[in-house]
Amino acid sequence: MTIRTVVNGRPVTEPIPVRWTLAEFVRDRLGLTGTKLSCGMQVCGVCTVLVDGRPVSACSYLAVDVDGCEVTTIEGLADAGSLHPIQAAFVDHFALQCGFCTPGFIMMAKSLLDENPRPTRKDVVDYLDGNICRCTGYQPIIDAIVDASERMTP
């Protein structure tokens, strides 16, 4: 079936197999490989993208369901080469090692800060319950998101 969607601000009309997941659509069809895949069952969060501003697990979300929606992936965050404040905070806090979980965490953080611009540390921890990082021990990620919220709403 053909879907019409807006991905990172760009209108896209593409015929796709109905069984494709959103992850397959953005990675394999659009070449947006920043969205990663790991658990494949909605527990690790590496595949998180925003659909109409809400975070979804692209591994378990059918691509046909974004017909008529706006999709934001990690590639849509930086503005003309300058990093989004969340991205900048991740760099500054060493909030990544292998980086495989990073796009998912950043998209989740974006969704959190859109909803709640000044979350407490506990809010951040709770919001990240669906994201796994196997490298960092989480603390630098939590620090980065708290710092980003301060940078964005001084």
Least gap, CB of 22 to ligand FES (angstroms): 10
Burial 14-42 (b: 16+ CB within 10 A, else e): eebeeebbbbbbbbebbebebbbbbeeee
| Touching another protein, residues 24-83 (CB under 8 A) | 27, 32-41, 43-44, 46, 73-75, 77-78, 83
Nearest one of 119, 122, 111, 121 to 153, comparing CA atoms: 119
Least gap, CB of 101 to ligand FES (angstroms): 3
Least gap, CB of 153 to ligand FES (angstroms): 26
* Rounded Cα distance, 130 and 138, in Å: 12
* Rounded Cα distance, 113 and 145, in Å: 9
Does 138 engage in binding with another protein (CB under 8 A)? yes
Applying CB under 6 A, the residues found at the interface with ligand FES are: 37-40, 42-47, 57, 59, 96-101, 133-136
Q: Work out which of 2, 19, 79, 154 binds another protein, going by CB under 8 A.
A: 19
* Rounded Cα distance, 79 and 94, in Å: 21
Least gap, CB of 127 to ligand FES (angstroms): 15
Identify which of residues 33 and 153 has a Cβ nearer to ligand FES in the complex. Answer: 33
Strands 70-72 and 2-7: parallel
141: left (phi over 0), alpha (psi -120 to 50) or beta: alpha
Identify which of residues 6 and 8 has a Cβ nearer to another protein in the complex. Answer: 8
Residues near another protein (CB under 8 A) are 17, 19, 27, 32-41, 43-44, 46, 73-75, 77-78, 83, 87, 90-92, 94, 96-103, 106, 124-126, 128-129, 131-142
